[in-house]
Amino acid sequence: MSSESVIEFSGVGKHYRTGTSNPLRTLFSRSRPPGQTQDLWALRNVSFSVRKGEVYGIIGPNGAGKSTILKLLAGVTTPDGGEIRIAGRIAPLIELGAGFHPDLSGRENVYLNGALMGLSRREIDLRYDEIVAFAELAGFMETPVKHYSSGMFVRLGFSLAVHTDPEILLVDEVLSVGDERFQRKCLRKFLQFREEGKTIVVVSHDLGMVSSICTRMLFLAQGKVVADGSVEGAIGRYLQTMGEGEGVGVLQQGDTTVLFNSGRASIFDRGREITKKLGLYTSILVNGRDLPGSGIWHESTRAVWRCTSIDSRTIRCRGDYISAPLAQEWELALDEHGALKWSVWLEVLRRVSIERRQANVMLSEDYRTWAGGSASGAFPPEFTSRDYHNWEILASPEGSTMTASGRASAPEVQFRTSSSGFAATIVNSNFFFSGRVLMFLDPEAVNLQPGRYPYFSGDLRLNEP
């Protein structure tokens, strides 16, 4: 094992028997070579390694063997071939609320699970208050967990797992449960883990989530490794292999790759993502007392997306908001010079009053300076805003073009709009996103009748540094 690796799979295989087999034969034969009966190979010759401090994502369709890898990592099952080496204490986070007994109270379950994970009673005593506080379950700890809501169940399980002081955290589709606020709390916890140099292995179907938090990724199909390495590479292969049917699409030209995934577009330059988290996205502030979803920002990632027409140069997608009577259509076109043209239309399904709207690109924190019109400045290194929506506005330069520059290797990003009414705005996001945002903001409130409206059009260019 190299000094840096905390997890190493070499040639690991795992098979399950389907149909009935005779357990007595398993008992008395020394090593029955698998494959004679109806064996299902969940993993076949899988090799990869995870270094300390990485957030390692595992993606793949159902039945690809993702959860089997987590089970092997957690040590609940053993491989039928190859070798697995793990250095460090692993928290069992395979599906949350793992070993909870329905008849026991929250407190009893915390102590039981703690003991199962190898903690002493005293060690649990020390963490107990923290576990309860993080799960936000003060006052419910004496209640049998069978009376918990599914959200409470999940919160307690997550809180317990992250408070067992693991060096390696295993995460299986956890962020698809719990409310949005708790999901963000979990993500913040992951980031804290990452900063502490701990290792996280994430399994998910949510490409957006994994691509935003992972540093490296494994793409698995039918128990075999298809791609291992960069996030963009693995997701690119995933999209090519799995078909670009739903809310995903990929464009590539020269050094530039654009990855559209459910309301956000990530941009890669020579395999390195220059955007961050939300990437290219829109956000609409809806007002109106009689409407659902009023008074909150609706990011384009909240919509349910379908790509309707895709060729090698263009992606066209439609996203229906569940949270508001709105839909968006995007067209992304990458020309031969690697410039990305972005056009957005808004479809209004019921009369709405829109207070403000944005079209943004969130860049990585590697970007250090900005320029617009005749003004320019530096991004502060710190992200001071703790509020999810109220970010720190740094400047509102004149004109319809903004640029951001960063480290020597990173291309200069030029973001320009041809729509009127938008004001260029330079923003530092909050602590959670930690991104530099070039924002086109239309602050004018409008009442819109049902119909289809042009929302935004602009382009994004990457210039050699």
Binding site for another protein (CB under 8 A): 16, 23, 26-27, 71, 74-78, 90, 92, 94-95, 98-101, 103-104, 108, 111-121, 144
Nearest approach, Cβ of 152 to another protein (angstroms)? Answer: 18
Using the structure block, give the residue that is written with the tokens 């210039």. 463
Between CA 337 and CA 292 the distance in angstroms is 43
Between CA 281 and CA 405 the distance in angstroms is 20
* Cβ-proximal residues to 106 (8 Å cutoff; 6+ apart), any chain: 132, 137, 140, 141, 142, 143, 145, 148, 156
36-41 long-range contacts (CB < 8 A, ≥24 apart) are 39/15, 40/15, 40/16, 41/13, 41/14, 41/15, 41/223
Judged by beta carbon, residue 95 or residue 329, the one nearer another protein is 95
Between CA 258 and CA 328 the distance in angstroms is 19
Give the pair of three-digit tokens for residue 184: 């963000």
H or E stretch covering 459: strand 451-463
Nearest approach, Cβ of 208 to another protein (angstroms)? Answer: 27
Judged by beta carbon, residue 74 or residue 251, the one nearer another protein is 74
Judged by beta carbon, residue 7 or residue 426, the one nearer another protein is 7
Nearest approach, Cβ of 200 to another protein (angstroms)? Answer: 18
Instruction: Give the distance from CA 293 to its chain's centroid.
Output: 24
Using the structure block, give the residue that is written with the tokens 């654009």. 258
Judged by beta carbon, residue 99 or residue 399, the one nearer another protein is 99
Judged by beta carbon, residue 40 or residue 445, the one nearer another protein is 40
* Cβ-proximal residues to 8 (8 Å cutoff; 6+ apart), any chain: 1, 2, 48, 49, 50, 83, 84, 85, 86
Between CA 123 and CA 326 the distance in angstroms is 51
Judged by beta carbon, residue 119 or residue 235, the one nearer another protein is 119
Between CA 406 and CA 226 the distance in angstroms is 33
Nearest approach, Cβ of 92 to another protein (angstroms)? Answer: 5
Nearest approach, Cβ of 150 to another protein (angstroms)? Answer: 16
Nearest approach, Cβ of 21 to another protein (angstroms)? Answer: 9
Nearest approach, Cβ of 35 to another protein (angstroms)? Answer: 16
Q: What's the longest Cα–Cα distance across the chain? A: 82
List the 81-86 sheet strands across, edge first: 39-51, 5-17, 81-86
Judged by beta carbon, residue 120 or residue 463, the one nearer another protein is 120
Nearest approach, Cβ of 90 to another protein (angstroms)? Answer: 8
Judged by beta carbon, residue 96 or residue 438, the one nearer another protein is 96
Nearest approach, Cβ of 39 to another protein (angstroms)? Answer: 12
218-222 long-range contacts (CB < 8 A, ≥24 apart) are 218/48, 218/56, 218/57, 218/58, 218/59, 219/59, 219/60, 220/46, 220/58, 220/59, 220/60, 220/64, 220/65, 220/66, 220/69, 221/60, 221/61, 221/64, 222/63, 222/64, 222/65
Judged by beta carbon, residue 74 or residue 404, the one nearer another protein is 74
Judged by beta carbon, residue 30 or residue 386, the one nearer another protein is 30
Between CA 406 and CA 257 the distance in angstroms is 19
Nearest approach, Cβ of 36 to another protein (angstroms)? Answer: 16
